[in-house]
Amino acid sequence: MEKFSVLTGVTAPMPMVNVDTDMIMPKQFLKTIKRTGLGISVFYDMRYDETEAERPEFILNQDAYRNSKILIAGRNFGCGSSREHAPWGLLDFGFRCMIAPSFADIFYNNCFKNGILCITLSEEQVEALTAQADGSDFTVDLEKMEITAPDGSVTPFDLDPTRRHNMLNGLDDIALTLERLDKIKAFEAKQQAEQPWLYT
């Protein structure tokens, strides 16, 4: 996983509530056996019409936002399915950071596994930042845990220490867990003694 420390880039506003993972990555793109190449399909139905032509009114089709790195969204972003194809598509498009009043649990977790930082702020804070998302650069600093908007205003944010540490250092979760392999084996031995029916 790529390290995340300071990110500067265009922020695309998408002030819709309950954007689900079917909207982010429709089912026909779930048939891939690769993680890459999904950026072109992200938000497919909103982004392209029936002839696969771009819909000019969609935010990511507007020149100022084509290179967005940060998405600022409405509450309950990423609800629905567990498909990791949604964060893979967002990452492949170029997004490294999502800001919203709330995220769905599975999506939130999936983003961090792929080096996408999800920041939860109040509705008011999100609204204030959305108003500034005119194509100018925002800066997200994970070291300092703050967002600097184009007007220079600074918004602090919170994140649990483990996620922050793993993001800052680009750590591989599986390698970390395998360091505890002895504990896993000890757990299995104890569980097998107590609930032998789980080991048949």
Partner 1 sequence: MTQPRTLYDKLWDSHAVHQDDDGATLIYIDLHLTHEVTTPQAYEGLRMSNRRMHRTDKTIAVPDHNVPSTPDRLEKIDDPESRLQLETLKQNSKDFGVEYIPMDDIRQGIVHIIGPEQGLTQPGKTIVCGDSHTATHGAFGALAFGIGTSDVEHTLATQTLSMQKSKNMLVRVDGKLPLGTTSKDLILAIIGRIGTAGGTGHVIEYQGEAFTDLSMEGRMTVCNMTIEGGARAGLVAPDEKTFEYLKGKPRSPKSTAWEAAVEFWKTLKTDDGAKFDKEVIINADEIIPHVTWGTSPEDVLPITGVVPNPDNFDDPNKKASISRSLEYMGLEADTALDGISVDKVFIGSCTNGRIEDLRAAAAVVEGRKVADTVQMLVVPGSGLVKHQAEEEGLNEIFLAAGADWREPSCSMCLGMNPDILQPGERCASTSNRNFEGRQGRGGRTHLLSPEMAAAAAVTGHLTDVRKVVSP
The smaller minimum CB distance to partner 1, of residues 16 and 154, is found at: 16
CA dihedral sign of residues 189, 190, 194, 199: negative
Indicate left, alpha or beta for 56 from its phi (over 0: left) and psi (-120 to 50: alpha).
alpha
In the complex with partner 1, the residue whose CB is nearer, 10 or 76, is: 76
- Least Å from the CB of residue 12 to partner 1: 18
Nearer to partner 1, 43 or 65 (CB): 43
Judged by CB, which is closer to partner 1: 45, or 146? 45
- Closer Cβ to partner 1, 152 or 200, answer by number: 200
Distance of CA 45 to the CA centre of its chain: 20
Instruction: List, as one string, the DSSP characters of 159-194.
Output: --HHHHHHHHHT--HHHHHHTTHHHHHHHHHHHHHH
Closest contact distance (angstroms) between CB of 2 and partner 1 is 14
- Would you tell me which residues interact with partner 1 (CB under 8 A)? 16-18, 20, 22-23, 26-28, 30-35, 45, 50, 74-76, 79-84, 87, 102-106, 109-110, 113-114, 160-162, 172-174, 176-178, 180-181, 183-184, 187-188, 191, 195-200
CB of 173 to partner 1, least distance (A): 6
Q: Where are the beta strands (DSSP E) in the chain?
A: 6-14, 70-73, 97-100, 117-120, 137-141, 146-148, 154-156
| Cα end-to-end span (Å), the chain | 37
**Shortest reach from residue 152's CB to partner 1, in Å:** 28
| Residue 36 DSSP SS3 | coil
Minimum distance from residue 148 beta carbon to partner 1 (Å): 26
